[in-house]
């Protein structure tokens, strides 16, 4: 499908470097290149080649992982390796209604919105206004901000402006203290994911969910290791994306 005005795209040169821009079929400013005629992208599609100032570039629509990797970061984000697990374990899909506690810079928010659109919604409870503003800036780049709402407040006590959620995700160290405030907004059969950096916090979250009658409670940590592929051999990379956070998943049942 040909590119449309307003899409967020990137150019990739032979060196692999990416140059991001918002497409307009008029003069458009592209970082490091100045202003170029956006009409040259009219009729082009994902992966096509365009020549600019004597250099060849491929032009691509970004994937969710591309968008998360290019976020304007402030607070730490939930990385794609953990975000993928959250989407699958919580069965987040088009039409899902999600309460997210803690926006950070909008990494998980971006993944959630991409999954729930165009018939679902994500509502974020964020403690800090500056984090919400940063997340909003990043979400607007994706064009999915119409499916997002947020409020500022402490998840332990704020009146959550969202009901009948299919999923709750939390990124806070003491989520067990917020469960009594959050759980009433989750449907029976709904799923919850608690993300935290430390093992003692994992234990507290696990026990907090168990005490409130949740079922299918599971805790995990996800590691990712690349492979080096070169002529003559293939071996695991010496570098590994190890601990980023612990995940606790559970499902709400009627009591």
pLDDT in tens, 154-164: 999 999 999 99
Mean pLDDT of 133-137: 92
Q: What percent of the chain has pLDDT over 70?
A: 99
pLDDT band for position 206 (cuts 50, 70, 90): very high
* DSSP code, position 153: S
pLDDT band for position 239 (cuts 50, 70, 90): confident
* pLDDT reported for residue 75: 63
* pLDDT reported for residue 114: 95
Mean pLDDT of 113-121: 97
Q: State whether the Cα torsion 178-244-116-207 is positive or negative.
A: negative
Whether 27 shows a pLDDT value over 90: the answer reads no
Whether 199 shows a pLDDT value over 80: the answer reads yes
At 224, which helix (H) or strand (E)?
strand 224-230
* pLDDT reported for residue 142: 86
The mean pLDDT of the chain is 93
Rounded to whole angstroms, the Cα distance separating 223 from 84 reads 12
* pLDDT reported for residue 54: 84
Rounded to whole angstroms, the Cα distance separating 82 from 241 reads 11
Task: Please give the model's pTM, rounded to 2 decimal places.
Answer: 0.88
* pLDDT reported for residue 32: 74
Rounded to whole angstroms, the Cα distance separating 147 from 1 reads 23
Rounded to whole angstroms, the Cα distance separating 103 from 91 reads 20
Task: Give the chain's largest Cα–Cα span.
Answer: 68
């Amino acid at each position: 499908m040909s590119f449309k005005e307003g899409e967020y795209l990137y150019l990739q040169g032979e060196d692999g470097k990416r140059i991001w821009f918002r497409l307009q079929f008029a003069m458009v400013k592209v970082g490091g290149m100045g202003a170029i005629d956006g009409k040259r992208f009219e009729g082009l599609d994902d992966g096509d080649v365009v020549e600019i100032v004597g250099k060849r570039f491929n032009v691509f629509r970004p994937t969710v992982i591309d968008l998360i990797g290019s976020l304007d970061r402030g607070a730490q984000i939930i990385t794609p390796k953990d975000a993928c697990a959250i989407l699958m374990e919580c069965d987040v899909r088009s039409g899902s209604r999600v309460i997210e506690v803690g926006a950070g810079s909008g990494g998980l928010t971006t993944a959630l919105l991409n999954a729930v659109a165009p018939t679902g919604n994500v509502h974020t409870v964020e403690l800090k206004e500056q984090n919400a503003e940063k997340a909003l800036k990043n979400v607007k780049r994706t064009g999915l901000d119409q499916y997002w709402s947020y409020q500022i407040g402490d998840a332990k006590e704020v009146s959550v402006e969202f009901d009948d959620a299919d999923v709750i995700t939390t990124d806070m160290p003491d989520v067990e203290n917020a469960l009594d405030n959050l759980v009433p907004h989750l449907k029976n059969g709904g799923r919850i994911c608690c993300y935290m950096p430390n093992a003692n916090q994992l234990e507290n979250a696990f026990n907090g969910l168990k005490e409130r009658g949740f079922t299918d409670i599971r805790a995990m940590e996800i590691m990712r290791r690349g492979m080096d592929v070169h002529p003559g051999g293939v071996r695991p990379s010496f570098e590994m994306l190890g601990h980023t956070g612990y995940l606790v998943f559970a499902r709400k049942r009627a009591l």
